[in-house]
A and B are shown apart, each in its own frame.
Chain A
Amino acid sequence: MADYQLTASEEPCAVIRDSDKACIPPDMANRDYNGDAMQPGYIQWKEAGGVPDAYVEPPPPEPAPPTTEQQILYDHENRVRALEGEPPLDLDEFVKQLSG
């Protein structure tokens, strides 16, 4: 593991410092990003040959659970479809149609 990890696929971007997990913005006025010989920052670390860990895509958002209202509507829709001889709808698909 490197001392820093990128937070986007391309630089400049914020970097995460491994030692304390600080999120450091790509601001040249920020000492943690751009330090000096006495207090090196990310830029100085890279200039000394450091290679940051690549950006890792965060996990996709969890699908939101249906609300009580959506669940009632879904159950009602499938009862109607059963009476009509139609196959039941998938819950996620039904919620998407409602939202759309």
Chain B
Amino acid sequence: MAYDFPNSPSLGQVANGYVWDGEKWMRAGPLPGPVVATKKNYIINGAMMISQEWGMASFTVSLGYPVDQFIIGFVHGGTCTYAQVASATPGGSPNRIRYIATAADTSVAASDAVYIKTPIEGLRTADLRFGSVSAKTITIQFGVKAPAGTYCVGVLNGAVNRSYVVEYVIAAGEANTDVVKSVTIPGDTTGTWAVDNTAGLNVFWSLMAGTSNQQAAGSWAATAIFASPNQFNFMGTINNVFELFDVSLTEGTVAPPFQVPDYASELALCQRYYQQSFEPGGIAAAGFIEFDWAASAAGTLGGGSIILSPTMRSAPAVNVYDVAGNPNLITVINAGGALTNGQTFNQLTATPKNLRLRLYSIAGAVGLAFQYRVSARL
């Protein structure tokens, strides 16, 4: 049997069960046999299961995190809502993120944009060797459910001055159904790609892009662009729905089938970037953090430290709330246990490893209570 391969294949092109890696044809998909090697998925929370901050609450404003590690930004004349939703995916995850156009914007202004972005820490992507002659080819695989059209996906460095855009098509027959798409991107041999605790690589999906956010697909550019001129205007029709799920970024030209990660392990990975002391969606009066001291020492300096586990990516930004949920205030515990909300505190410091809060002398106080959230997001 003879195979007929294209004479001038493009990178990632598949023919006869083989994929062109830029130099040679490689078998597409796993090798036959009982042992299938797994690959490192550089994406954290690609199963969209972890949503520490808001749970399944909906957003209507830009730059919210419907799930950990995934941020949605937009500039347009319409309105939208987005959230983590419970909806089983082909890869087996119980969750995905969903973005809905609740008021259309049919006229795309130059600066208009809708994007979903997930940043990856440089320490995690260092082995991809971007910015060197040894840069590795990567493949982004993701599940998507969207109206028919041409969309864009790509990568951007942490310094937001190197970007690569790839188009993918939702055909008419694929519209509004779960499909798995895969794009391959050659590693960038130039540019600055962080290999420390700052953003090494951003992956983005574009839903709308004005001319200021467009560049030709298929090549590296010294820009911060995330779409091509062919980008579909997802916001053009009210009630359009875009869903993203089962996301992986792996080295090489072929992605393995998506594997839902262990929940506890993935939660720990997410907590390197974000943690909070309360359940998703709001401050709970129960379960607050409490520092107590002996009644005989009442009125003297009070406070304490919390070990942040796991160690965070950087010194985090800290929000402190009293038990009633008032920001930047704490609750004083009085002798006998009565709580007084609305108390200002005197010192708040945070390192990647701990959080320390101090209250100077308050007459009658025998303790303090509060809730907190810490963010070292990229």
Contact = CB atoms under 8 A, between A and B. Distances in A.
Contact of B317 (A24, A58, A63): A24
Contacts of B363: 62, 64-65
Interface residues of B, number: 41
Interface residues of A, number: 26
B76 interface: no
Nearest to B312: A30
A21 interface: yes
B300 A22 contact: no
B328 A29 contact: no
Interface stretch (B7-15, B139-147, B279-287, B344-352): B344-352
A22 B314 contact: no
* A interface majority secondary structure: loop
Contacts of B375: 22, 32
A79 interface: no
B361 A62 contact: yes
Nearest to B158: A36
Contact of B160 (A14, A21, A37, A64): A37
Interface string B283-317: 00000000000001011110000000000011111
A77 interface: no
B224 A37 contact: yes
Given A38-B73, A62-B361, A67-B296, A21 B317 contact: no
B195 interface: no
A95 B317 CA distance: 40
A30 B376 contact: yes
Most buried by B among A29, A39, A58, A67: A29
Given A21-B328, A61-B361, A65-B363, A31 B320 contact: no
Nearest to B348: A23
Nearest to B117: A38
A25 interface: yes
B350 A23 contact: yes
Nearest to A37: B160
B314 A29 contact: yes
Contacts of B110: none
Given A16-B328, A37-B160, A64-B300, A32 B198 contact: no
A65 B296 CA distance: 11
Interface string B95-125: 0000000000000000000000100000000
Interface string A42-86: 000000000000000010011111010000000000000000000
B317 A22 contact: yes
Interface of B: 63, 71, 73, 117, 158-160, 196-199, 224, 296, 298-301, 313-320, 327-328, 344, 346, 348-350, 360-364, 375-378
- A-B CB proximity, top 7 nearest: A21-B328, A61-B360, A64-B299, A29-B314, A21-B327, A25-B315, A32-B317
